């Protein structure tokens, strides 16, 4: 495994970890509402849950990280850890890229919980990048769920597979609705990278 390997840039929240599932439970407590009253069909930023009048997303996020250990306790998305282990054992270099440090003063909690969670579910990775500018880490293919990230990555010529959830249904593919589908797409992308064909992503993109 070295820098000449195929590098897969993997987002965590909403892709490997069931961020919206655990956040729904935490938000219900924080808002003092029954969880069933909070729709699962959320958009990015969770505006549908009416958090604005309680102080907004940043307040909820800080509570979730510092008081409810969201990054330690969230469940993985079905099949994600096992498929990542398979991809890694096939020589794909897993580079995790997350923007979890977007709030000041909770970095120690965030980083500690993240590393413990990755170990606890035996999720393989060679690189762990906490950054907003995901394109800067130079992966061959990216997996993400946040519309803003996907659009920005693609604008910069980064080949990106959408992992489907309610926040991103309007975006064009390639996309995977499950990790089993993701496994197939990533293997296809690795083959294309090796052979120079471009079936999955179409015409060559800049950058």
Chain contacts with Mg ion (rule: CB under 5 A): 11, 13-14, 145-146
Residue 163, classed as helix, strand or coil, is strand
Active-site annotation holder among 2, 13, 73, 145: 13
Q: Is 73 a catalytic residue?
A: no
By beta-carbon proximity to Mg ion, the closer residue of 100 and 192 is 100
By beta-carbon proximity to Mg ion, the closer residue of 145 and 183 is 145
Min. distance of Cβ 108 from Mg ion in angstroms? 21
Per DSSP, the residues of 115-175 read HHHHHHTT---SEEEE-S-GGGG--SEEEE--HHHHHHHHHTT--EEEEP-TTSTTS-SSE
Min. distance of Cβ 146 from Mg ion in angstroms? 5
Q: Which of 180, 78, 176, 76 is nearest to 122 (CA)?
A: 76
By beta-carbon proximity to Mg ion, the closer residue of 134 and 140 is 134
Q: Is 133 a catalytic residue?
A: no
Min. distance of Cβ 198 from Mg ion in angstroms? 26
Q: Which of 25, 36, 37 is nearest to 68 (CA)?
A: 25
By beta-carbon proximity to Mg ion, the closer residue of 145 and 192 is 145
Which residues, at least 6 apart from 54, have a Cβ–Cβ distance to it below 8 Å?
Answer: 30, 31, 60
Min. distance of Cβ 99 from Mg ion in angstroms? 8
User: Which residues are part of the catalytic machinery?
Assistant: 11, 13
């Amino acid at each position: 495994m070295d820098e000449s390997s195929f590098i897969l840039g993997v987002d965590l929240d909403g892709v490997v970890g069931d961020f919206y599932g655990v956040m729904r439970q935490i938000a219900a407590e924080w808002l003092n509402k029954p969880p069933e009253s909070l729709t699962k069909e959320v958009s990015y930023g969770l505006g549908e849950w009416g958090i604005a009048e309680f102080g907004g997303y940043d307040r909820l996020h800080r509570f979730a990280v510092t008081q409810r250990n969201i990054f330690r306790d969230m469940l993985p998305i079905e099949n994600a850890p096992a498929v990542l282990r398979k991809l890694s054992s096939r020589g794909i270099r897993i580079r995790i890229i997350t923007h979890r440090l977007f709030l000041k003063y909770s970095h120690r909690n965030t980083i500690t919980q993240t590393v413990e969670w990755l170990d606890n579910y035996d999720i393989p990775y060679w690189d762990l990048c906490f950054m907003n500018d995901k394109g800067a880490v130079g992966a061959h293919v990216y997996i993400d769920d946040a519309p803003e990230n996907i659009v920005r990555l693609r604008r910069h010529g980064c080949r990106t597979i959408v992992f489907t959830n309610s926040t991103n249904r309007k975006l064009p593919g390639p996309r995977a609705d499950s990790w089993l589908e993701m496994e197939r797409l990533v293997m296809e992308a690795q083959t294309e990278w090796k052979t120079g064909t471009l079936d999955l992503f179409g015409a060559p993109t800049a950058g």
